[in-house]
Every structure is written in structure tokens, then in C-alpha cells.
Structure 1
Amino acid sequence: MTFRLLVTLTLILGLAACSTRLNPFNWFGNDREERVEVVETVTVVDPRPLVSQVISLNVDPHPGGAIIRAMGLPPRQGYWAADLVEVERAEGRLVFEFRVFEPPVATREGTQRSREILAGTELSTQELDGVRTIVVQAQSNRRSVSRR
């Protein structure tokens, strides 16, 4: 009787924790898109332009922090050296710009799949402390994920 009660109680508490902040897989939900038009300023520290658009954003938890992955779509093939550059950290919001170098020569547009470029960064648990929303910004849109 006691064993059965203990197993039942463990299952109930375990399943209840699945939808709380204690479960690291619930840290960040699905990404959502917002259309924007970014105007570059002269005070940009990074010489690379913003990618045209961000088509996906994922935050994958791992022991000790999380990995942020964003997929960008430049206007044509050949863009390289993609990075997520942190530009703002305030009020529980962490903002990155998706920056890439343009190809040195003229290139074809190609298919969407052939133009996709991936950038990522790793953040420790301490760096994520207090962060409720992560935003990745491109030239024509931004994507964000929020903690559940």
C-alpha cells in the first residue's frame, strides 16, 4: 500500500513539474515573428550588414546554459561569417543582431534552401539569469522567444 502511494505521488509531482519553470525544457517556447524595417546607423561597431530576414529561432537548453540558433535568409547565395551580435540587455530582454558578410563577387539568387545561413551562440545559466525574452533582429523582421 505504501509503495503504491509513493509511486502515485511521485508520478503526480513529476508530471506537475513538467509545466513549471523548474523544467529546463520549458525555458523558451516557440518563436514568433514581427515585421520591422531596420535603418542602420553610422555608429555600428560591426561592419557586416544585417541579414535580410530571420526565418527561424531556437533556444535549446543544455547543462549549464542554452544554445541560441537562428536561421537567416540573405537575398542571394554566398553570404558568409554569420554571427549573432548582442546589442541590448535590459529589463529581462536580450537582443541580438544577425550579421553576415556579403559575397565578394556577384552571385546567383538561387533557391531559398541554398541561401539559408545559420548562426548561433551559447549562453551560460548565469548569462541567462533574469532573461525572459530573446530577440534576433534582421533587416526586415525580428523573431523572439519567451520563457513560458
Structure 2
Amino acid sequence: MRTPVLLLLTATLALSACQSRWNPANWWDTDGSAAAEYVNPLIPEKTEEGRSFFTTQEEQEYRGLPIDKVTSVEVHRVTEGRLIMAVGVSSVHGTSDVRLILPETGALDGGVLTLELLGRPPFEPVVGGSEQSREVTTAVVLTDQQMSGVRTIRVKALTNSIDRRAR
């Protein structure tokens, strides 16, 4: 007698953890209200306008400052076009949101595409330390349409620039 009761209790306990019709807690739920009330806590709630709570009203303008120097640039062919990866050394520790930006005017001049290496310094910058500890890396993918007519890619920093052939 103990074995069937123990087996029944074990099966009930195991089935109560699943969200299927075999769950004994779902046997008497006829209107399906339990499934409608489930909210995933990892998905942010939407506001009345239909946008996420965490998004801003308008896209803010990026206000990065030039990185001190660029140390290496690599160009790789990818399905979308070209992946341009740049490594630079910032003048302060904690530089974040590093980007390769196409300037609005004069980006393509005689087959040379110029990208600027920019980053946001911290509110309280810490100067000094080794170059390795201040190193920042970023990448951007440019489509084949953006790369039409480009023979050379130049990444420009505050004190130097590096040119690479656009394969």
C-alpha cells in the first residue's frame, strides 16, 4: 500500500512543476486565466505610447571625444560587406562607448574612407597607467553600398591615423 501512495505523491509533485494539461493545478481551470496572467519579468513593460519603458523619447546625439591614438586596424570581409576593427589607446582609464564614426562631410575623398575613433571618457577620469590597461577596441560593419569606390580605409585618432587597404 505504501508503494502506490508514494508513487502517486511523487508523480503529483513532478507534474505540478510543469505548465501542461497534466499539471493537477490546471485540471479545474476552465477559462485559461492562469496562462493569460503570466508575465515574463525579463521583458520590460510598454508605456501607453507602445514603446518600452527603458527607451528615450528621441535618439540622443553621440558626443564622443577622439581617442588619443590608434594602434591597429583590421579589415575583414563579411557577408554584409566589410568589418572594420580598430584598437586604440585612450588617454584616461574608463573610456566607454567607443565607436568608429563616419563624419557627415568629407568621409570619402579620392577613394579614401576616413573613420574617426571616438569614445566617452568617465566623469572622474584617472590619468596614467600602462597603455595596455587603457586599450579600447571597437568595430563597425559597412555594407557593400557604403564601400563602393573605396580603395583605402583610414582610421583617425587624436594624434595619429592608420590606413588599410579595403580588400
Name the TM-score class by shorter chain. Answer: 0.5 to 0.7
- Which of 86, 102, 106 pairs up with 2:125? 106
Give the drift of 1:92. 1.4
Q: Which of 70, 78, 93 matches 2:94?
A: 78
Match of 1:95 in 2: 114
- How big is each residue's C-alpha offset from its partner over 1:28-81, in whole Å with a ceiling of 9 and x where there is no partner? xxxxxxxxxxxxxxxxx8532100000000001112311000001011211111
Work out the CA distance in 2 between the residues paired with 1:119 and 1:80: 10
Aligned to 2:136: 117
- Gaps spanning 5+ residues in structure 1: where? 1-44
- 1:144 alignment counterpart: 163
- For the pair 1:53 / 2:101, whether they are aligned, the reply is no
Separation of aligned partners in 1, 2:119 and 2:62: 10
Q: Give 1:84's aligned amino acid.
A: L
Q: Hey, which bits of structure 1, 4+ residues long, moved more than 4 A?
A: none
Q: Which has the larger radius of gyration?
A: 2
Q: Give the partner amino acid of 1:62.
A: V
Secondary structure of the 1:114 match is helix
CA contact 2:92–2:125 (8 Å) conserved in 1: no
2:37 — aligned with what?
none
Unaligned runs of 5+ in 2: 1-60
Distance 2:94 2:80 in 1: 34
Structure 1 vs Structure 2: percent identity of aligned residues? 27
C-alpha displacement at 1:131, in angstroms? 0.5
Higher fraction of strand: 1
Q: TM-score, normalised by structure 2?
A: 0.57
How many residues are treated as equivalent by the alignment? Answer: 104
Bigger relative contact order, structure 1 or 2 (CA pairs below 8 A, ≥6 apart): 1
